[in-house]
Structure 1
C-alpha cells in the first residue's frame, strides 16, 4: 500500500454523524469478512450502509481511511479488554489462569469483531500501527507484573513472539464465526509451553 495514500478521516461533530459513521464502519467490517479488503470499494460500503457515497466521503476520503477508523475502534475495545487483564494480573490469580483468561477473551473478541483478523495482522503493510502498539504496550505491562526483574529488551522479545503466535493461530480458532474449542485449547497449550518456563513459578 502506497505511503502517500491518506488514512486520515474526519471525526463526526454530532451524535447523528457518529451514528452514521458507526453504520459505515459496521458495513465495512461485514464486507471485509465476506469478500476481503481488496474486493471492497467505497461504493460497496455505501451500498451496504444504505447511505450515499457523498455521505461516506464526508467522513472518509477513501477505503483505507475507513479501515483505519475501524482499527481505531478495535483498538479502543481491545485496550479495555487488556486493561481488565492487567487488573487481573495484580491479584493472586496464577499466571497460567490469567493466560487462559486472556486467550478466551481475545477469542471471543474475534467473534464480535469479524474483520479483526485482517485489521490485526502483524505482517500487514496496512498502517494500523496504533492498534499493534496498544496491544504491545498492554502486554509489556502484564509481563512486567509477572517478571519485574526481566529486562525491557527481553520482555519486548517475548511480547512480540506472543503477538505473532496469536496472529498466526487465532484464525484457526474459528470457522464461520463459530469457536473451535479444540483449537482454542491448542493455542493455550502453545503459549503456555512458551511462557510458563519463564513465568510459571509466579
Structure 2
C-alpha cells in the first residue's frame, strides 16, 4: 500500500493542544489509536475507527490529525521520546558504571518496554508501510543515534566523532530490529534479548579495541 501524500506537514499534527480539555482529547485519541492498531493492524486502521474508539467526533480528530499517517507518526515520535528519556537517565551513570553493565541494564529496560507494550511493534511496523513514513522513522532513529553518539564519547575516548556516529547508528538500528523481532509470534523474547546483548557487546568490544589501537598508533 502506498500513499499519495507528498507534503511532510501532512505527517505532523495539525496543531498541538494548549488547553487542558484539548490535551485530554488529544491524548484520548492517541491511546485509542494504539489499542486499535494492535487489534486490527495498519491496513485496516482508519481515522474514523480511531475517533469512534476515542469517543470523539471525527471533526475533532481532524482538528489535530489530517490523516491516519499523522496519527501513526505521532505515536512513533512519542515512543522515540520515551526511549530518549531512558537514555538520558542512563547517561547520568556514565562514567561511574562500566559500559558493559550499562548496556545490559539499558537493554533490559528497553526489552521490558517492548514485552509489556505490544503497540511498540505495531507502531514500528506501521511506520514501514510507506516511503514517507519510513523516512520519518529514520529521522527519529537518527535523533536517538545522536544521543547515543554523545553517550559513547566517554566510553570510546579518542575516537573520531564520525566513528562514534557510525557506531551509534548501527546500535540503534540493530536494537530496534531485534527488539521488534523478539516479540514476534512464536519467538522466544528472553532468548532474542540474550542474542541482542551478545551482538552489541561483541560489537562494542571490537570498537573499543580499535579505538585503543588508534590511540596507541598500532
Cα deviations across residues 107-143 of structure 1 (Å, max 9, x unaligned)? 122245433235457x943124552232111110111
1:56 to 32, 54, 61: 61
| Shift in Å, 1:55 | 1.4
| Shift in Å, 1:16 | 1.1
Give secondary structure in 1 for the equivalent of 2:153.
Answer: helix
74-83 or 2-11, larger mean C-alpha shift: 2-11
Hey, what does 2:141 align to over in structure 1?
132
| Shift in Å, 1:155 | 1.2
Task: State the distance in 2 between where 1:160 and 1:36 align.
Answer: 28
Which protein shows a greater Rg? 2
Task: State the distance in 1 between where 2:124 and 2:151 align.
Answer: 20
Give secondary structure in 2 for the equivalent of 1:89.
Answer: coil
- How many aligned positions are there? 199
Native 8 Å contact 1:95 1:199 kept in 2: no
Task: State the distance in 2 between where 1:174 and 1:118 align.
Answer: 11
- Over the aligned positions, Cα root-mean-square deviation in angstroms equals 2.5
Native 8 Å contact 1:85 1:102 kept in 2: yes
TM-score by length of 1: 0.86
Hey, what does 2:24 align to over in structure 1?
19
Q: How does 1:23-62 map to 2 (within 5 A)?
A: 23-62=28-67
1:164 aligns with 2:173: yes
Native 8 Å contact 1:120 1:131 kept in 2: no
Q: Which runs of 5+ in 2 are unaligned?
A: 213-218
TM-score by length of 2: 0.80
Q: How does 1:91-106 map to 2 (within 5 A)?
A: 91=96, 93-106=97-110
1:148 aligns with 2:157: yes
